Structure 1
Amino acid sequence: MSTTKMFTFPDLRKKKFVAGLLLLSFLVIGIGSSFFWVQEPVSAAASETTSQQAVKPDEAPGDLNNSAEVEAFVNKEMKSSMDLFKIPGAVISIVKDNKLLFAQGYGHSNIEKNVPIDPETSLFRIASTTKLFTWTAVMQLVEQGKLDLDTDVNKYLKTVKIPDTYKQPITLRHLLTHTAGFEEGGVGYQITTDPKKLPVSISDTLSKHMLARIRPPGEKVSYSNYGASLAGLIVEEVSGVPYDDYIQKNIFEPLDMKYATVKEPIPASLDPYKVLGYASENGSFVSKPPTFEGGFRPAGSGSVSALDMAHFMMAHLNEGRYENKQILKPETAKLMHSTAFQFDKRLPGIDLGFFELNVNGHRLISHGGADTLFSTELYLVPDKQIGIFVSYSGGDGGVAAEGMLQAFFDHYFPAPEVKLPPMPANIAEIIGKYAGSYKFTRRNYSDIDKFYGFMTEMNISISDNKLAIGQGEEQMLYVPIGQDLFQQVGGPHQIGFRTNASGEVTEMMFDFLTFLPLERAHLIDETKFWFPLLGSSIVLFIVGLIGFAFRIRAVNKMEAPQKRAAWLSAATAVWGLITCILIVTFIMNMDTLERLSHISISVKLVLVMPIIFVGLTVAMILSAIMAWRDKYWNVFMRVYYTLVVLAAMALSLFFYHWNLLGWQFG
């Protein structure tokens, strides 16, 4: 019997960096510092060993047919990660060859009442993993002939109509592959914590918060909650059955999923089994109110037990069949699991609802989800007939899930050693064009949501003739292994790039983020453009105010037009500085829950300030024209006055570009 080796979460800071990307993909808008938001650092005592050394070359892989060995291995991994990442509750279920291989709960569903996690009955919020139910429902109606993957969705929609922004219509295939071309949105309305606001109509929600079409369908991937919700509405309107009831009748009941629901709030009969979400505060876990998707529930309202998800995994691995019930025909299941869109033929792609991964040389199809309290991942390995479902009720669950998957494969299916090719002599010339700033295709253009993407960018630099991403201990290095393809140094991941006809780099994609590619950022969207401009403006305002304070007596002795101009400059500087401080305090620093659940009165009041500032800026422009025409002061003073005007114009442009002028709510 092979020995069990506990995974030590090697290269932990890099794993945290990678998992942060994964978590970001399930949140509507990410907000970061120089790269993404910075999570609290974990213990620096993490192992320096690479993940590919979890099983030593002279050790035999683990034996999945040995149930005792599997139990010992998984228990150690789960308990280790929960302790390390401060997770109060977790659950896992693993299936193989159409049978349950292992299932176990860890920690508590209710700490205050000392209720342990039960894999059979404990309902975890699975967030975006719910989409797999929605996509399965769509494919059921496709095989019944009620839907066609390549027909304009407007043919099926009765209460919502998608505008014909482009000549190409959006189809269900586009929705299932996240290539419909919608922008992303959600600030103020994506979720709620108030059960009194439920139930909410899917149709009314999608009509009220319709997102703009920003690119032709089928062109690029951009993960979309709106698109998934639209698919759920189509299921509802074509079948004639409410979405919640359809999923219950056509998926949960045939699969004997007794502890599963997409209803919000959880039905009274299942409420005793819900798992509470916790946040870590002052060294202890504090329960937080659950979030609800409302009209976006086809994209993320599911609450399910691990054993019930095992049934769902077995059905998908067994050609749509669980025991004696068939929820999909074999050919439909095969189609659903086949690659439907690829960024690069050499990298994992997107199936009809599933995302592909390559782990230690094996093809996985997967889907995950995360909200403010829960993190979930579902992985299927078709060639090994294995399914893994894992969910966490707090802490760094995204990091734990990624580590658990890699540990599992390293132990049972270790990867061959990755040998990097020799670097060409002109390596510096080859890789130089890839350096720069990139923005996620999943972002907003039309509403205040755009502002939350201001600092969410990825900077790729060159370090020792390698592409470098991140900084310090989290830095990852990549070397070229093919045309527009790079391999991680000391790690398993790859990056692919796209170029245009002129050879200019236009897009990039991580092999573990097939649903979230990035585009080369335009200069006006980059922080390196705005930070110097904003910094210079603030310095000019402050210096101007200091000068005004020292010369206030002289100012008050000036002629009326000159005195008004000087006071206007001071007022504009003060108003601009206060506006910047309040924008950061009340808008930039809103946490995810606050940002996506409501727009507070304070935010609305703060957004009045940029409008007033623009008015002051216009007045200053006119005042500057008069100052030069009528020769106010000396030339130096007029030049400085003009510089302050330009600073005000720069700040006004910032407010305009990032949708901070007025109440631009979706």
Structure 2
Amino acid sequence: MVTLVVALVSTPIGTTAILAVFSSDSLSGQVELSNQTATEAWLDETMARQLEEYHVPGAAVVVVSDGEAVLTKGYGYADLASQQPVDADETVFSIGSTGKLVTWTAVMQGVEDGRLELDRDINDYLTDSTVSVPDTYPEPVTLEHLGTHSAGFEDIFSGMVADDSNEKRPMENILADHQPARVRPPGQFVSYSNYGTALAGHVLAEQSEESFTGFVDNRIFTPLAMDDTTYAQPLPPRLESRRAIGYTYQNGEYQAHDPVVWTLPPEGGSLRTTATDMGQFMLAHLNGGSYGSERILEAETVREMHRRHFTKSEEVPELNGMAYGFIEMDRNDERIVGHWGDTPRFKSLLALYPEHDTGLFVVYNSPGGALARFELLQAFTDRYYPQSDTPVVEPPTGATERARELTGDYRSLTISESSWERVLGVMTRTYTVGVTDEGYLTTSSLGEETRRWVERRPGVYEEIGGSDMLVFQFGENGRATHMFRHSFGPATYERVPWYESLTVLQSVLGAGVVAFLSVLLLWLGGPVWRRWRASDVPSDRERSARWLLGVVSLLWLTVLVIFLFAWINFNAEAASPSIALRTGKVLRYLALAGTIGAVVATGFAWHEDYWSRPARLHYSIVTALALLFAWQLSLLGVLPL
């Protein structure tokens, strides 16, 4: 029986998969894995490269095998200012949503003892709570939906963070005050939901005689001897002195940041732990729910959590879907279930190879870990469970024509539908699909390099030079409607109409900015021009029309800048909206009202022959662009209509 756990702080890596097949390759992998010297040498080399390449200050690694720690080691620094090194046993990291696995383990404990049922309407458990799920659709939301991220909620971030720990409120109040809308029937598509996990934790607490954190402390952390794991904010003094600092790397220097204050413990963001503690958590899952003499789950319950609960494509069963709370992360035809977590500065990943009793945990204290963790996962899988299949490299006959039918923008369903937070999803969770003359598919997204894909079979594409896969779903008319990524199980990407594409969005906003600036230049320079040309003094109506469009232009530019900075400072604005953002929310409607007024003024300009014909054309074009500008901002959620 072999088990591996790795916890790091810096590394870019691909994602991997596991099969329920015990091959000779996997046997040789297990032998290698138990060789502590070889494993340590490989990780030493890998981590040294990653810390430098991805600008991550520190990392921790824990390897366990046959129920005991084989390797526990720290890399780099937890605190650069004091030169405090990372210690896998001692250094406390924020692990983000990887902590959700604790929540789902606790929920399954509630199922085991009979207080919860996965297929029951969760409103049945909330009769004494101010939180309830609206009956937007006939089908009720169940714990099964919450655990597979298929409940159909929109994505919202407000309510998840606070400015400081003194502003935290009861979980019930936050869930009631910041409830996302139900935007699709449950069980239809996977769409990652932080709120859904927090709601599941609240359901558990409502059916218990203790708080969620108290339940987890008593039922998971204590029996697993996870003594350095806590949801407490701020950290207790004994842990605060060992806290890893979160960093960003800018202009050749590392910048330290204060910890984020998270408000919903079940969501996982507030969980702080050590690599060693997470190793004990994984050992329990890999050993049928037991750790030493303690048991947190029955073996059958563990198997139930690790099996697939949601299949995203019946036609492509090898596509990763969702286990219960666990994300399928299969690579190299190996079955892998786990989770990853993101906070602004910390990136983590936990991966279990159930068929090999192996696990990998990584955590980083810098954004560079976002790529590093998946690279490490792929490298680990390639090393110990290599794939012998020869990858497809040449597109088959007719691939170009089929690929052209797939081109367009595909946007994640994990997006807000009702607030300005939608801009985050539109800009960062949209993939533009293109095609080359040779028939390769291409994808591009903000912050990612363009990737190429080759057709494996119609609607299924394999990454060139990588391990990922794209799968397309088609409607009754044979047109692609949705896209799935093999390496990103908890997401569905919906094809958007052409007018919502990033190309149209950027073109309209860019043209609008140029047009508004031209109005402001004419607005300011008009008097000088008329004096130089000795032109007639404009009438009051002409002057009013020009002033109106000038004010509209200034307002739209101001709104754009305000929401751009809100996006850049997203976490702070989600925790506590700034005066600028609150002002922007008022100005957007003033700008819209002014734009409507400019449309009326345009009619007067042509009817009464204001100015010269070129001036009237300019006025009309800018007004039209202001309307298009408002329309695109409404699609971004900046201007709810």
Q: Same fold (TM over 0.5)?
A: yes
Distance in 2 (alpha carbons) for counterparts of 1:392 and 1:516: 23
Which amino acid counterpart does residue 602 of structure 1 have in structure 2? A
CA contact (8 A) 2:415 2:426 kept: no
SS in 2 for 1:175: helix
Q: Report the alpha carbon displacement of residue 645 of structure 1 after superposing the two structures with TM.
A: 2.3
- Which residue of 423, 443, 451 corresponds with 1:469? 443
User: In terms of mean alpha carbon deviation, does 297-306 or 323-332 score higher?
Assistant: 297-306
1:333-344 maps to which residues of 2 (within 5 A)?
A: 333-344=302-313
User: Do 2:103 and 2:266's aligned partners in 1 also have CA atoms closer than 8 Å?
Assistant: no
| 1:615 Cα deviation after fit | 2.3
1:437 equivalent in structure 2: 409
Cα distance, 1:579–1:101 mapped onto 2, change above 3 Å: same
Distance 2:563 2:218 in 1: 48
2:170 to 201, 209, 215: 201
- Residue 110 of structure 1: how far off its partner (Å): 3.0
Distance 1:473 1:152 in 2: 40
Task: Render the CA deviation track for 1:406-456: whole Å, top value 9, x for unaligned.
Answer: 222222222214242864322222221111111111001101101223423
1:51 paired residue number: none
Q: Which residue of 2 aligns with 1:654?
A: 632
> 434, 437, 459: which is aligned to 2:432?
459
Once the two structures are superposed, the pairs formed by residues 35-434 of structure 1 within 5 Å of their partners are 63-157=32-126, 158-159=128-129, 160-187=131-158, 189-198=159-168, 200-344=169-313, 345-420=317-392, 423-434=395-406
**Alignment check: 8 A CA contact 2:320 2:328 kept:** yes
SS in 1 for 2:374: helix
| Deviates further, 338-347 or 173-182 | 338-347
The answer to whether 1:598 aligns with 2:576 is yes
Cα distance in 2, alignment partners of residues 498 and 117 from structure 1 = 45
Cα separation, partners in 2 of 1:635 and 1:154, compared to 1, 3 Å: same
Q: Report the equivalent of 1:26.
A: none
Aligned-residue offset at 1:374: 1.1
Paired position in structure 1 for 2:4 = none
Between the aligned partners of 2:517 and 2:393, the Cα distance in structure 1 is 55
- Matching of residues 503-582 of structure 1 within 5 Å: 503-546=478-521, 549-550=525-526, 551-553=529-531, 557-582=537-562
Does structure 2 conserve the Cα–Cα contact (< 8 Å) formed by 1:61 and 1:411?
no
Task: Kindly state the Cα deviation for residue 309 of structure 1 after the two structures are TM-superposed.
Answer: 1.1
Task: Tell me if 1:587 matches 2:560.
Answer: no
Single out whichever of 642-651 and 365-374 deviates more from structure 2. 642-651
Q: Give the aligned residue type for 2:408.
A: G
Answer yes or no: is the 8 Å Cα contact 1:610–1:655 preserved in 2: no
Give the 3 Å change call, closer, same or farther, for CA 593–543 of structure 1 in structure 2. Answer: closer
Deviations 1:109-153 (A, max 9, x none): 333334332222222111101100100000011111111101111
Residue type of the alignment partner of 1:307:
T
SS class of match (2:162) = coil
1:612 aligns with 2:590: yes
Call closer, same or farther: CA 1:323–1:86 in 2, change over 3 Å: same
TM-score, normalising length from structure 1?
0.85
Which one of the candidate residues 494, 505, 508 is aligned to 2:469? 494
The separation in 2 between residues aligned to 1:473 and 1:256, in whole angstroms, is: 40
Note closer, same or farther for the CA distance 1:61–1:127 as it changes in structure 2 (3 Å cut): closer
Deviation at residue 209 of structure 1 after TM alignment: 0.7
Shift in alpha-carbon separation, 1:331–1:647, aligned structure 2, 3 A:
same
| 1:447 is aligned to 2:419 | yes
C-alpha change, 1:298 and 1:651, in structure 2 (3 Å) is closer
| Distance in 2, Cα, partners of 1:332 & 1:75 | 36
- Which residue does the alignment assign to 2:23? none
- Find the residue that maps to 1:351 and give its secondary structure: coil
Separation of aligned partners in 1, 2:407 and 2:415: 21
Q: Is the Cα–Cα contact under 8 Å of residues 562 and 580 in structure 2 kept in the other structure? A: no
Matching residue of 1:44: none
Asked if 1:480 is matched to 2:480, the reply is no
Secondary structure class of the residue paired with 1:613: helix
Q: Identify the range of structure 1 (347-356 vs 617-626) with the bigger mean alpha-carbon deviation.
A: 617-626
Mean CA deviation greater in 84-93 or 364-373: 84-93
Aligned residue number for residue 19 of structure 2: none
* Aligned partner of residue 241 in structure 2, secondary structure: helix
Separation in 1, partners of 2:538, 2:363: 70
Write the letter of the residue equivalent to 1:568.
Answer: L
**Residue type of the alignment partner of 1:144:** D
Partner secondary structure for residue 474 of structure 1: strand
CA distance in 2, matches of 1:330, 1:452: 41
For the aligned residues, what is the CA RMSD? 2.7
Task: Please report how far the alpha carbon of residue 623 of structure 1 lies from its aligned counterpart in structure 2 after TM superposition.
Answer: 2.1
Residue identity matched to 2:350: L
Q: Residues 223 and 516 of structure 1 are in contact (CA less than 8 Å); yes or no, is this contact kept in structure 2? A: yes
Give the counterpart letter for 1:512 in structure 2. Answer: S
How many residue pairs get aligned? The number is 607
Tell me the distance in 2 between the aligned counterparts of 1:242 and 1:120. 28
The amino acid that maps onto 1:511 is: H
CA distance in 1, matches of 2:622, 2:43: 63
- SS of equivalent to 1:106: strand
How far apart are the structure 1 equivalents of 2:518 and 2:569?
33
* CA-to-aligned-CA distance 1:151-184 (integer Å, 9 cap, x gap): 1111112320111111111000000000001111
Secondary structure of 1:425's counterpart equals coil
What is the CA–CA distance in structure 2 between the aligned matches of 1:656 and 1:284, rounded to whole Å? 39
Map Cα deviations across residues 449-508 of structure 1 (whole Å, 9 max, x no partner): 012234232111101211012399933211111232111123222111111111111111
Distance 2:506 2:372 in 1: 35
Measure, in 2, the Cα distance between the counterparts of 1:555 and 1:625. Answer: 23
Q: TM-score with structure 2 length normalisation?
A: 0.88
8 Å Cα contact 1:95/1:310 also seen in 2: yes
- 636-645 or 405-414, which deviates more: 636-645
Partners of 1:105 and 1:357 in 2: CA distance: 26
Distance across 2 between alignment mates of 1:107 and 1:115: 9
Please point out which of 597, 600, 608 is paired with 1:622: 600
Alignment partner of 2:336: what SS? strand
Mapped partners of 1:555, 1:567: distance in 2: 18
Tell me the distance in 1 between the aligned counterparts of 2:434 and 2:457.
Answer: 19
1 CA distance for matches of 2:287 and 2:298?
A: 10
After superposition, the C-alpha distances for 1:351-381 in whole angstroms (9 at most, x for unaligned) are 0011112222211111111111211111110
Question: 625-634 vs 482-491, which deviates more?
Answer: 625-634
In 2 relative to 1, CA 360–661 (structure 1 residues): closer, same or farther, beyond 3 Å? closer
Q: Secondary structure at the match of 1:166?
A: coil
Aligned-residue sequence identity (percent) comes to: 30
Deviations 1:511-530 (A, max 9, x none): 11011221112334322222
Unaligned runs of 5+ in 1: 1-11, 20-58
Please state whether the residue corresponding to 1:362 is helix, strand or coil: coil
Following the alignment from structure 2 to structure 1, what is the Cα–Cα distance between the partners of residues 40 and 79? Answer: 24
What is the CA distance between 1:602 and its match in structure 2?
A: 1.9
Deviation at 1:652, TM superposition (A): 2.6
